[in-house]
Amino acid sequence: MTSPVLPSHGRARPLGLAQVTLTGGFWGDRQAVNATATLAHCEAWMERLGWLANFDRVADGTTGPDRPGWSFSDSEVYKLLEALAWESARTGDPEAEAAIKRLTARVAHAQDPDGYLNTCFGHGDQPPRYSDLEMGHELYNTGHLLQAAVARLRTHGEDDLVRVARRAADHVCRTFGPGGLDGICGHPEIEVGLAEFGRALEDKRYVEQARLFLDRRGHGRLRDIPLGRAYFQDDVPIRQADVWRGHAVRALYLAAAAVDVAVERGDDELLRAVERQWEHSVARRTYITGGMGSRHQDEGFGEDWELPPDRAYCETCAGVASIMVSWRLHLATGDVRYTDLIERTLYNVIATSPSADGRAFFYANPLHQRVSGKPADPDEVSPRAEAGARAAWFDVSCCPTNVARTLASLHGYLATSDDDGLRIHQYAPCEIRAELPGGRPVSVDVETAYPESGTVRVRIAADADAPWTLTLRVPAWAAGATLTEGDRTRPAEPGLVSVRRAFRAGDEIVLDLPMEPRFTWPDPRIDAVRGCVAVERGPEVLCLESRDLPDPGGLDSLVVDPRAVPRAVPGGAVVRGRVLDLAGRAWPYPAGPVGAAPGEWFDVRLAPYHGWARRGPSSMRLFLPVSSDQPPPQGE
Q: Using one digit for the tens of pLDDT, what is the confidence trace for 487-506?
A: 999 999 999 999 999 999 99
pLDDT of residue 312: 95
Q: What distance in Å separates the CA atoms of residue 629 and residue 627, rounded to the nearest whole number?
A: 5
pLDDT of residue 598: 67
pLDDT of residue 622: 97
pLDDT of residue 591: 84
pLDDT of residue 425: 98
Q: Using one digit for the tens of pLDDT, what is the confidence trace for 257-289?
A: 999 999 999 999 999 999 999 999 999 999 999
Q: What's the mean per-residue pLDDT of the chain?
A: 95
Using pLDDT thresholds of 50, 70 and 90, give the confidence band for residue 386. Answer: confident
In sequence order, which residues have a C-beta less than 8 Å from that of residue 571 and are 6 or more positions away? 607, 608
Give which of 71, 77, 67, 70 is closest to 47, Cα–Cα.
77
Q: What distance in Å separates the CA atoms of residue 622 and residue 289, rounded to the nearest whole number?
A: 10
Long-range contacts formed by 16-21: CB under 8 A, 24+ apart: 16/412, 17/86, 17/89, 17/90, 17/155, 17/409, 17/411, 17/412, 18/89, 19/432, 19/433, 19/434, 19/435, 20/411, 20/412, 20/414, 20/415, 20/430, 20/431, 20/432, 20/434, 21/411, 21/430, 21/431
Strand partners, 417: 13, 422
Instruction: Report the pLDDT averaged over residues 291-307.
Output: 96
Residue 377 has pLDDT above 70, yes or no: yes
Q: What distance in Å separates the CA atoms of residue 313 and residue 310, rounded to the nearest whole number?
A: 9
Using pLDDT thresholds of 50, 70 and 90, give the confidence band for residue 597. Answer: low
Give which of 22, 60, 59 is closest to 409, Cα–Cα.
22
pLDDT of residue 58: 98
pLDDT of residue 596: 58
Q: Using one digit for the tens of pLDDT, what is the confidence trace for 517-575?
A: 999 999 999 999 999 999 999 999 999 999 999 988 889 999 999 999 999 999 999 99
Q: How many residues does the chain have?
A: 636
pLDDT of residue 590: 86
Q: What distance in Å separates the CA atoms of residue 292 and residue 232, rounded to the nearest whole number?
A: 16
**Secondary structure string (H, E, C) spanning 5-39:** CCCCCCCCEECCHHHEEECCHHHHHHHHHHHHHHH
Q: What distance in Å separates the CA atoms of residue 596 and residue 559, rounded to the nearest whole number?
A: 10
Instruction: Report the pLDDT averaged over residues 617-624.
Output: 95
pLDDT of residue 595: 62
pLDDT of residue 635: 43
Using pLDDT thresholds of 50, 70 and 90, give the confidence band for residue 168. Answer: very high
